[in-house]
Structure 1
């Protein structure tokens, strides 16, 4: 059986980067680039006149319409399109913000061509891809498109509140102040949730929270 071709759009303000990604992906079976754009405004224009992509590779920092606004618009108008954020740095804040805008995952721009291909095929099939930041129980739940009621039910009220605040832009220190707890206690909550949920980062905690309707989109 012939596998369905994955249609891709690349939205990034660096021309050489777009050309480089296009060149790499043009040699990949089952992936076809339908258009590229230098920012969210150009993406809005082109998406109306080209085949609808399955996955958009979305840069975060762009002029005119940035990755956050472009992703939010895309999910409101074309909810079936998956967004894979392109990040220069593995920092929690921009990645978390992209997830809350509707992205299904992220990949670092320094990743290999093989990693990019895996990311595209994974997000196209399962809706989510977060590199090595999400493992074990959570990634299985995402792939099976089911929630984790047992995991949620086993959380304490303070752990749920901590997860809600993780979805904000507050630092861990600011979360401690908000919850009237010590930073040490907050660190303990974080480490306990990493262990319970088989996660490695705050980004993973946020994705778990959003998938289980803890915290607001």
Structure 2
């Protein structure tokens, strides 16, 4: 993103009133310009121009034709330089995991306050990430900068079972589904708790970010 030039933003949401209201707020914030509006992921892709790409896209998850998941994956594969902020009413762990896989930089609730919206965009432009959860934000910063010495596999001894569980926990499988793979629910609980302690994280999202940071899996795995 070039300094002294407005940050170009695309809004992709099939709820036109919400989309246009947020676009107006962004345009009035200063330093930002909504340059592309679309109702579906497919329309968004069709409107993209190679010589005038947005710097950031605010993307709804639930849309017809091509939803936010498919659109984020397409962007990750074709234009990873475009930052993605996801606009959604859902912030379940599996949604977070799936969208982080596709390079999402942050999550916004649809009832977000205008000041928080501006803060989210400011932070994403400045640091590359916006996560309201402090732990997740810290982990994403580590993932970006690589400056956390204690956050390294070289300094942490994981058993084969713990390493295998870490890989499985980084998929969309539920803990219950993992427990059915030649193991038990008790073992899954024990491995999860051990990893939380060893890796200094408190959530499944934290496990995934650790796995990405240390090359256990990669974004888009």
Structure 2 length normalisation: TM-score? 0.83
Q: Secondary structure at the match of 1:134?
A: helix
Q: CA deviation at 1:87?
A: 1.9
**Are residues 212 and 86 of structure 1, via their aligned partners in 2, closer, same or farther at CA, if it must alter by over 3 Å?**
farther
State the match for 1:199 in structure 2. Answer: 201
Q: Secondary structure at the match of 1:178?
A: coil
Q: 1:65 corresponds to which residue?
A: 66
Give the length in aligned residue pairs.
Answer: 215
| Mean CA deviation greater in 43-52 or 190-199 | 190-199
1:174 corresponds, among 170, 177, 194, to 177
Q: 2: CA distance between counterparts of 1:206 and 1:66?
A: 23
After TM superposition, the runs of 4+ consecutive aligned structure 1 residues lying more than 6 A away are: none
Tell me, yes or no, if the aligned pair for 1:12 and 1:62 is still in contact at 8 Å.
yes
Tell whether the 8 Å contact from 1:135 to 1:198 is kept in structure 2 after alignment: no
Q: Give the aligned CA root-mean-square deviation in angstroms.
A: 2.6
Deviation at 1:197, TM superposition (A): 3.9
- Structure 2 partner of 1:130: 131
Distance in 2, matches of 1:111 and 1:183, equals 38
What are the equivalent positions in structure 2 for 1:73-152 lying under 5 Å apart? 73-132=74-133, 134-135=135-136, 138-146=139-147, 150-152=151-153
Q: Name the CA distance, whole Å, in 1 between partners of 2:34 and 2:165.
A: 41
Report how far residue 92 of structure 1 moved: 1.5
Bigger mean CA deviation after superposition, 27-36 or 100-109: 100-109
Deviation at 1:201, TM superposition (A): 2.6
Q: Which runs of 5+ in 2 are unaligned?
A: none
Contact 2:140-2:209 within 8 A present in 1 as well: no
Unaligned runs of 5+ residues in structure 1 are none
Question: Which of 210, 213, 216 is the aligned partner of 1:214?
Answer: 216
